[in-house]
Amino acid sequence: MKAIQFLEFGEADVLQIADAPEPILREDDLLVRNHAVGVNRADLAHRRGGYGRPNFGDSEIMGLEMAGEVLAVGAKVEGFKAGDRVMGIVGGGAYAEISRIDYRMAMPIPEGLDFVHAAAIPEVFVTAHEALLHLGHLHAGETVLIHAGAGGVGSATIQLAHAAGATVFATTQANKLDAVRDFGADHAIDYQNEDFAEAVAKATHGRGVDVIIDFIGAPYLERNIRSLADGGRLIQVGIMGGVKNAALPLERLLYGHLKIIGTVMKSRPQHVKHAMVRRFGDRWLPHVATGGLTPVVDSVFNLSQAADAHRRMESGLSVGKIILSTHETSAAVLTSRLPAPNAPQSFQADSLP
């Protein structure tokens, strides 16, 4: 099979398509012919050597999410059969024509959803649900601030927050403000020209928000804490801005009865990952595409163009997910952002997880 490999760490041009052995089916695995693959920021860190030469459980090949057709099932697999269309999160190996996935990390692709948009769901929506609802305990009528709102996880988190009946603040660049409003944000903040803490304070009359979902880290920590309402929850999902020189206003943390919770998927035990996927699938899968949740696709590149896909992510221009397709003819013309979805609908409060 063909797969993306690299002999040394470095810039995007180290990524090359080459022959690789097909994965060996294990008793809890699905063997899947990949049709589309999601690109994630973790892939950039992998390429640069941030993880060394890792094997996250399924393969040393890069890539954490995919959508495709089941070729074979292991002896202990339940609920899936050859020919099924599936999407899911893998422990490496997605940047290839064939991958293996623990069947408990896989989800059926909703009817009517194509492989490209299916590949834009697993990593971002599972992460968003875990941070926002399972850990953040966001409820209808509450307020939430979501940073990096135009990114893959950000766009998914905005949609889930809107669907949950919350008032949504989101930060992004000036040229992406309309996009995050389309995703469901009530207040879009240009973080380059506005102080998000001041914008939140003004809009909430000094109260602050109930939940903050942050991907930035140290540069935002102090303002995040001061932007939380009493009893508020900060869920730290990423550290794109680094970890040094982070100021933590302990008096506000103490007297405001605030919570800070960190979460990351890759390093969690397998049974925890299974539960994360199950929680999202049970609650939201019926609403994907047909019920108000829309995977946001920025651009599609051929698998052989993985380096270009990485450059697109590094440019900061993308809105939503960047996808690799294993079908050369279907992907060649799709290298610009697809239209943003309409704002998702709200769901009744009594149907929340």
Q: Is the dihedral of CA 39, 40, 41, 47 positive or negative?
A: negative
The verdict on pTM exceeding 0.75 is: yes
Cβ atoms of residues 237 and 261 within 8 Å: no
Q: What is the pLDDT of residue 290?
A: 72
- Tens digits of pLDDT across the chain (353 residues): 999 999 999 999 999 999 999 999 999 999 999 999 999 999 999 999 998 888 888 999 999 999 999 999 999 999 999 999 999 999 999 999 999 999 999 999 999 899 999 999 999 999 999 999 999 999 999 999 999 999 999 999 999 999 999 999 999 999 999 999 999 999 999 999 999 999 999 999 999 999 999 999 999 999 999 999 999 999 999 998 999 999 999 999 999 999 999 998 877 889 999 999 999 999 999 888 676 788 999 999 999 999 999 999 999 999 999 999 998 644 433 433 333 333 333 333 223 22
Which residues are within 8 A (CB) of 350 and not within 5 positions of it... i.e. 6 or more apart?
none
Cα 251 off chain centre by:
33
Cβ atoms of residues 141 and 166 within 8 Å: yes
Cα 242 off chain centre by:
19
C-alpha angle 103/235/146, rounded to 5°?
Answer: 95
- Only one residue has tokens 């973790």, namely 42
Please name each of the domains of the chain with its CATH number. Answer: 2-121+288-331 (3.90.180.10), 124-266 (3.40.50.720)
Q: What is the pLDDT of residue 92?
A: 95
Integer Rg of the chain from CA: 20
Rounded Cα distance, 192 and 236, in Å: 21
Rounded Cα distance, 318 and 353, in Å: 31
Q: What is the pLDDT of residue 23?
A: 97
Q: What is the pLDDT of residue 52?
A: 87
